[in-house]
Amino acid sequence: MGRYGKAYTISNVILSMYVTVFCIMNRNELKQCWQGDCRNFGAAKLLDMGQRETIAGPTLEPSTSLPPAIEAEIDYQPLVENFEIWSPKFIITGVMKCGTGAAHTFLGEHPNAIPASGEAYFFNKDKFYTQGFTYYRKYFLRRYRDKLEPFIHYEKSPTYYRSLTAPPRMRHMNETLKIVNVVCDNVKRTLSRYLHIKTHTDDGHFVHNHLSLIGTTLESFQVNLRNTIKVFGAFLEDVKNNEGDGTMDGLIKALTYRFKYKMRPFGIRATPDKIELILSDGFYAVFHQYWQQFFPDDQLLVVDGGQFLKTPWEPMIEIQKHVGLSETINESSFVFRDGMDVPCFIDAQKNVNCLGGDKGRSLHKTLDLDVIRALHELYRPFDNYFSQKVLKRASWQWNYGLEDL
């Protein structure tokens, strides 16, 4: 055998080793492909193995297959006795700073709805989930004398919506579970999120290091935000062109892949600029399409949280209908008091209960006009894609900060 024959043999051995490693690393997707579903399997993975930062568009089709690391992380917990009696029949999954608190509070006034005693974060925090459903049950032990049978339990944890483990874990708990996701104008959400971080850093709930990474004052946050928007916009354009075939469909698929593999701009370790994490929290289409892999559309409701400040009965009627509650909460259930920027609820005894003082935190704060415009420009294609292509509805009328222009 000549030296070229030896070289050819050696190269074949090396290739065989790579193929073996590739098959081990991707055994779940290979099995799925053998069963006839090859959407998430492509030669590009072999070519890019070990150095993936971009990937050809055709291999990015979302599927119910998950990265092996996430599959291992899910660690399904067994259900417990009498689970059906106390377990939630619907869950408010997000979005943080979009009105989840208002939805939770108003639903708590319904005579047939029993809220959990707090935000459980059970399905997206391993330290809670690994304690099992006996631990989860403690959130549903409270008894209410004014509740009427048949009643249903529910809970709200506003970061479930962007969790990789929450959807499969919830489906494991109950395949018929109803999901409620409260979204809102991303410009207002960005401001509210910053103010939330600052407020809870000042009161000691968050470590100061978190705030220093994004800006210790609203002014310094905006300085950093201006730079981040430019860099982040260029990054997204690069992903769109190199991983997404230059289309919005392709970009969403590419970002869905990045979300599933904890890559920039979703993975904490993979995203040095922490403001990007705040911004990517608003890519609702990416997260919603991930949830669609585990629940059918008729179990997923999306409402506009901005309505809670002006016409709160509209999203409340949608939610009650979705989860199977009588439409007890309607326009006559709310009143707006002078000097208050948030609506108040009129209960069955005609008592008026208003949202807590920490709600509507961003109503008296604002961002500079150039920052507002830059954020709207960044989010507009994502918001339009989410409303029109994913939800099949008219575009959101979101124009925070531009209403009077």
Q: What Rg value do the Cα atoms of the chain yield, rounded?
A: 24
The pLDDT of residue 349: 84
The active-site residue out of 45, 89, 97, 127 is 97
Question: Please, which pLDDT band fits residue 49 given cuts at 50, 70 and 90?
Answer: very low
Which of 7-16, 101-110, 262-271 has the least mean pLDDT? Answer: 7-16
Strands 334-335 and 344-346: antiparallel
Q: Give pTM, 2 decimals.
A: 0.82
Mean pLDDT within 329-354: 89
Tokens of 301: 């409701």
Average model confidence (pLDDT) across the chain: 85
Residue-range domain boundaries for the chain: 3-50, 84-405
Residue 108 has pLDDT above 50, yes or no: yes
Please indicate if the annotation marks 258 as binding a ligand. no
Q: Is 362 annotated as a binding residue?
A: yes
Average pLDDT, integer, range 357-372: 77
190-243 pLDDT, tens per residue? 999 999 999 989 877 676 778 999 999 999 999 999 999 999 999 999 999 999
Q: pLDDT tens digit string along 381-390?
A: 999 999 999 9
Consult the annotation and say whether 192 binds a ligand.
yes
Mean pLDDT of 237-259: 98
360 is in an annotated binding site: yes
HSE-CB at 360 with a 13 A cutoff on CA atoms is 15
Confirm whether 89 is a catalytic residue: no
> If pLDDT is split at 50, 70 and 90, which confidence band does 355 have?
confident
What tens digit of pLDDT does each residue of 304-319 get? 999 999 999 999 999 9
Give the pLDDT score at 360. 53
Q: Determine if residue 230 is labeled as part of a ligand binding site.
A: no
Considering the chain, what percentage of its residues have pLDDT values greater than 90?
70
CATH number of 84-405: 3.40.50.300
Task: Check whether 7 has a pLDDT greater than 80.
Answer: no
Cα 404 to Cα 173: distance, rounded to the nearest angstrom:
47
Report pLDDT digits (tens) over 169-200. Answer: 999 999 999 999 999 999 999 999 999 999 98
Lowest mean pLDDT among 158-167, 276-285, 336-345, 385-394: 336-345
More confident position, 179 or 397: 179
